[in-house]
Structure 1
Amino acid sequence: MFSKAIRYYENGLKLSNEPQYQGLYLSFSANLASSYVKVGKKKEALEILTGVLPIAVQNKFYEKEIQILLALAEVYFLDNFEAAKVYLDSSFNKANRYGDKEAVIRSLKAMSALYKVHAQYKESMAISEKERQMSDSLFNKQKAIEVADLQANHQLQKSKTDINRLELINKTNLTIRYGIILILAVILIFLFIILYFYYRSRKLNKLVNRANNNLQILNEELEEMHVVKDKMFAIIGHDLRSPLASVIGMLDLLKEDALDKTEQLTIIEQLSIHSKGSMEMLTNLLLWGQNQIKGSYLRPQYCSVKDIIAKNILLVKVASTQKSLTIEDLTDASAVVWADPSHIDFVFRNLISNAIKYSRKHGSIIIGAEPQKTPSHISFYIKDTGIGISQERLSSIFKLNGQSTIGTAGEKGTGLGLVMCKDFIEANDGELHVESEENVGSVLKITFRRYPRDY
């Protein structure tokens, strides 16, 4: 019997291993672990339960957390009294905190059984009595609710009877009222005709105004789409075509076999730089174009910014090493935000890459976090000692028609990176602010929410 149940729960676990089925996944995990315990597979049950308990805690599934705690107590039920008691105490406290009386009763029942199995009968009886009292109280409460429902139904039937009696009385008075109503109806018809034509004219005017507004909005959207199209063709025709032409020229040089090994390695390195730059331009271009046409689709969740920053620092290590740059990450491991992780990853990757791009050799880049006035937000900053941005240029860096500045090592860009970063940050209910001084450096501040708006 248990083997059939185990197969059922294992299949359910596979099918529910998706973010939208997390609650179901936790239930299947707890039930599968309980079945494993029944057939003596306590090690497998313990691995499952210790893996899913943090998920239940992090996502505040307190009912699933209690179920998992009870299953963990079941693993240690016969062999380790203290461990089982710890988990039962935890499930009892959790259920008591959330006022879940049924879960409290389940915890007490399991605790009484635990004391009984380990020959502590006095304690078992005391807990069993407490569980019985709570069960009786819950039963009485349910009965009280049923009695209240019966009383409400009685009152409803009585009200219906009174209504029927009043309707009978009203019918006798209708004949008298018909004459008055007929006169009023004639007057109202004339008033209705007048009002009809009045409101009809107003409605037509509103429709005309709405159509004009919609036409204006469509024209603006069309203009924006033309800007997107022109920008994409301009980038494809200039920023992507030039590097590809250089790549073709370098490949022709390599085919001639007239270069020594050092020159060949230099050309290969340049080919790599041009190819990577072109790939980055194309990736940003396609992502930006898709975002402009289809809109940004968010999958917000709690994100560890420290991990995202560390990963992207590792990705740009080669570029920073070539310029002998020092990158210092001062963010705390507890820095967590509520946002789409792919957007956060894109933002920090682009902003760190930009800091490297516009930094001189032997410069430094500092990344950190700072508290905000409201506890619901947290800000991060990326500070460099690079070439900075002039005040004239600063006002247009987030515009689509802005021109990208060449990096200190001749790196080229499309100017889309900052535009996309700003779009993604604002899509996640955040803000991006830039402070810069030419030939001194720049500080980019990014503010995100620490938890959902309705938290």
Structure 2
Amino acid sequence: MIRIILFGLMSFIMTIDLFAQMQEVDSLNKIVLTENNDADRLNTLNRITFLIREKDTQQALKWGIQAESLALSLGDSLQLMKAKGNLGWVYYRLGIWDKSFRYSKDAYLLGLKFEDEFETGMALNNLGALYYQRKNFTEAIKSFREAYQLGLEIDDSFLTIRSLNNLALNLSFVGELDSALYFARTALQSNKNENLIYFTSFSNRVIGDIFLAKSELDSAIKTYEYALSVASHHRLKTFEASVFHRLGKAYFLKGDLDKSLDYLGKGRKVSEENGYREELIETFQVLASVYHSLGDVSTAYQYHKLFAELKDKREDEIDEDRMSLLQAMLEVEKSEAEISYLKIENSLKELELKSIKRMVIMGGLAIIICVTLLAWLFIFNKKLKRANERLKAKRILLDKQKKEIELKSEELSESNSMKNRILSILGHDLKSPVAQLKGVLDLLHSQELTKEEFEGISHILKRNVDGLFENIDNILSWSKSQMEGFNVHLAPTNLIKVIKPCLDLLNHQAISKEIIINLVVDDKEMVVVDQDLLQIVVRNLLSNAIKFSKKGSKIDIYSFREGELLNLVIQDHGLGMSEIQLETILNGQVSLLESSVGTEKEKGTGLGLNLSKGFLDLMGGKFSMVSKKGEGTTVTISLQGVGVKQVQLMN
């Protein structure tokens, strides 16, 4: 009964508070649109950005950018500090971590400069969240502790509670569960004392995580359900989805599989409707475990496959975001080092100027005292000029050396980037099919997969292994072309003898998609090429045609002469490409990891077209492509043909 009364009271308070905030937002919107005084409008822009940055991120971004621009034009550093702090958090919510770091760092430095403890603490929370995304929990905890101390010093409940919750969350990730529980409960008590509700649900979710880590399942379930019922965190769907999969996991560990499936189903629905991939990954993982416990191996395998594919894709995106964040951090650190260097240099110049002034004064006194001393100062001044000229020459030399070092640094960075892209392929695109094959073999070895079930998925494994073979062969060919180069051996070659092995290799892929390949090429057609390189080109182009063809469609392969050239055409009737995609490929802007997914989610490395175009250039051939979205793609390669009389002479 008491719990029901408490829940009703909190709901009433939350309704009043949200209504008050909505009225304030509406009022501020009118002021922004009608205010003529720039200073008042700037203050209003910062206030409304702060109020809506958790509710309407895109609108908050627009208001925040306007506030920053207006603060810069007015030269108002205090309002600029608030605008940068708001934008730092908005960019974090949008996943643009490099911009988030730059803006949050600027807000932090401005907060220190103007001794504004609130804005400094808010910026520290932003920076701590970014360290959390990099899994640098030590730095994150350090930032949140500092922000918490600032909140206590200025007695600001919002900053204090926000810092406590973030501190508890990060401590739970490093295994300091008792400390995490203490800070989370302290946050709840602060909420109660200050009559605030914004962070209640978040605090309870953290406490539930701690109970779950301690295997106190009943306490964890009770806490999660309470957090879900009050849902005070602005009714965010992402919060509900995060609690659903946690409840599903807790009930699974407890052995109540029906309730587990019920909560996981709710979580999956909310996550899929709103595109919450992090929560969906966790949901698929627990669903795979639940169905495995129920003995439904086929369903468990499907959920495990969904989990693995979505996790790999998300890890790729997170890795890119973390790389951008790391680059931003390094750039900021570099900028700070350069500023420190300039400050030191300015100090040295000031000392140098002071020294010169003293000498001028001494020279004036010397003129009065003695003409001879004047002559000596004249000579000394000439020596000083020569020294300055030598110093200037040395500075020019240093600048030149600095540019050479920066150039070499850029070359090294490009080399490291290429290495990272290759490692990313080896770590993700090539790992997934091997992992799937291993999982099936493990199931076969443990006799948990029947022969009928294996036959049901064998065609998927065959397709994945074929794709793996093709990717590895492309990577090896590309690596050889980059590191060693190719010794091209041009010779008259029968075109059919090049095409046939490619058709044999890719025949299974075509059959599995019920694709008909029409080959209309004269078996006497000869071209002057390197047979091995041309076979790689044809195989990649045909593989792409199959990959982007719809099930039950056809692919046409034919040739025609154009003067001394022999044109080989590979035409599919599949997905096709937009004008932007086609222009990108023809301009040579396709790089590693930019491969699109096929009609049946086939994956590639993005090397195929690069290899084909590169090898055609080595053989003196030409490459052209015509495509239309939804109608298919036609690729034409032009090669040096061998005339009919020449063929007869060779025969």
TM (norm. structure 2) is 0.34
* Structure with the higher fraction of residues in helix conformation: 2
Tell me the TM-score normalised to structure 1 length.
0.48
